[in-house]
Amino acid sequence: MSLREMSRRHNDANVMCLSADMLGDKLLSRIVEVWMRTDFEGGRHQRRLDKISEIEGKNGCKTEADSGCSGGGCGGGCN
pTM: predicted TM-score of the whole model, two decimal places: 0.55
pLDDT digits (tens, 9 = 90+) for 13-72: 878 888 888 889 999 999 889 888 888 878 888 888 888 888 888 888 866 555 555 544
pLDDT score for 78: 46
Amino acid found at 76 = G
Query: How far, in Å, CA of 43 to CA of 68, rounded?
Result: 27
Phi and psi angles of residue 63, each rounded to the nearest 5 degrees, phi first? -80, 170
Residues 6+ apart with CB under 8 A from 50: none
Of the two residues 33 and 77, the one the predictor is more confident about is: 33
Instruction: Enumerate domains of the chain plus CATH numbers.
Output: 3-58 (3.40.1400.10)
Residue 9: pLDDT band with limits 50, 70, 90: confident
